[in-house]
């Protein structure tokens, strides 16, 4: 059986696409470690952020300030890693919540 070969440029493009598609780029002022803490904290809340209490719990668990949480949530929403809930709030659908 013959394995198809990719050109060097094609292989590099596929690798780059896989890296971009497989992870969310942290918003300015946050790191990948912040995203990991965010996902773990969200998991402890059944992956949903709806109430003020949910955001306070996220702040306490992650050490992030509210604006950072909002920025990260927005990034997940824009990349398909979270979805808006009909009654308000968001549900994380990636990482620890996949």
Q: How far is the C-alpha of 68 from the C-alpha of 63, rounded, in Å?
A: 10
Is the domain defined by 29-97 classed in CATH 4.10.240?
no
- pLDDT of 5 above 60: no
For the chain, give every domain's residue range: 29-97
Taking 80 as the threshold, does the pLDDT of residue 23 lie above it? no
Q: What percent of the chain has pLDDT over 90?
A: 71
**pTM metric for this prediction:** 0.75
Strand ranges (E), the chain: 48-49, 82-84, 90-92
Q: How far apart are CA 22 and CA 6, in angstroms?
A: 21
Contact 68, 34 (CB under 8 A): yes
Residue appearing with tokens 């990991």? 36
Strand arrangement, sheet containing 48-49: 48-49, 90-92, 82-84
What is the per-residue pLDDT across 25-60, written as a single tens digit (0 to 9) for each? 899 999 999 999 999 999 999 999 999 999 999 999
């Amino acid at each position: 059986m013959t394995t198809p070969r990719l050109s060097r440029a094609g292989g590099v493009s596929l690798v780059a696409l896989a890296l971009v598609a497989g992870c969310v780029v942290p918003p300015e002022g946050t790191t990948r470690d912040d995203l990991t803490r965010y996902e773990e904290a969200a998991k402890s809340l059944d992956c949903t952020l709806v109430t003020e209490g949910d955001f306070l719990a996220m702040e306490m668990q992650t050490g992030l300030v509210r604006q950072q949480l909002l920025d990260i949530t927005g990034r997940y929403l824009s990349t398909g890693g979270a979805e808006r809930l009909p009654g308000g709030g968001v549900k994380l659908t990636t990482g620890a919540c996949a």
